Amino acid sequence: MLKINSYAKLNLSLEVIRKYNDGYHEIKSIMQTIDLHDCLEFYPSDSININVVGQNIPIENNLIYKTIINLKNLYLVNQGIGVKVIKNIPLAAGFGGGSSNAAATILALNKLWKLNLTIDEMIAIAIKLGSDVPYFLFQGTALVEGRGEKITPLLDVNLDDILIITTYDHIISNKTEKMFKYLTKNDYSNGDITNNLIKKINNKSLISNRDIYNIFNDLSFKSYKFMNHLLLVLNKFGISNFNICGSGPSIFIIIDDKGIISKLKKNKYLNNYKIFLVKSNKGISKVKYDN
């Protein structure tokens, strides 16, 4: 059996540079994994067996399944695999949980099936599964460019107190695609915001909410109607802005006062939200074997 943690991510920056002729967008982003994670257990099986504990997700829509099928077809693997998934990352909430699961599956099967894939070969497989998947082969703090296939590891950022606020009932299908459709040429930028943040990271300077940028922050108010009310409530606690997680709808805020959590949880409106703390983590996947 192989156990692997599949970590969630945040975007410390997300700029869109331009739109390619094929409809995809060129991005420049700094991604950061956090300690929120799913647990994946891989075990021998005659067939493909995926058990997502506590959830009934159609197997054909599961990125783990698509990743397994892709690897089996590419490398003519004639064996099956069983996967038990303990989900902790909220679904369709901006944390890249599905993409993280796909990358974890590539890493796991590369070991279990002894595929001996290079990192470039894994990236080539990953980008076909989703634009965020290649990043999760690296994790930690990294610059992500192009369609998501160009990854440059950066010095690890240490963020110990990141407040997460996520919804229970605003799952939107194809939300990332819909968010990108809202973009116009006026939303494109040249990457300087990300470059300035890289300078701060290289100088080991303190990262604050003012340094974080996501093109979807303002667009989130158009896509998620509850955002305006949420901001009004947060204003009462001295929080004047927040950072969107990926393409939303979850948000994150770097905080100085952990006591704010208990105060937020007492607000009746925020009873509809899950509120918790996370911190950044480092490096490539934490993989361990169990006999």
Catalytic residue among 28, 38, 87, 132: 132
261 token code pair: 């959590």
Catalytic residue among 9, 28, 66, 87: 9
| Active-site residue, 114 included | no
The size of the chain, in residues, is 291
Task: Compute the distance between CA of residue 116 and CA of residue 56 in angstroms, rounded to an integer.
Answer: 33
| Active-site residue, 28 included | no
**In 3D, which of 99, 84, 89, 168 has the Cα closest to residue 138?**
99
Task: Compute the distance between CA of residue 66 and CA of residue 125 in angstroms, rounded to an integer.
Answer: 11
Which residues belong to the active site?
A: 9, 132
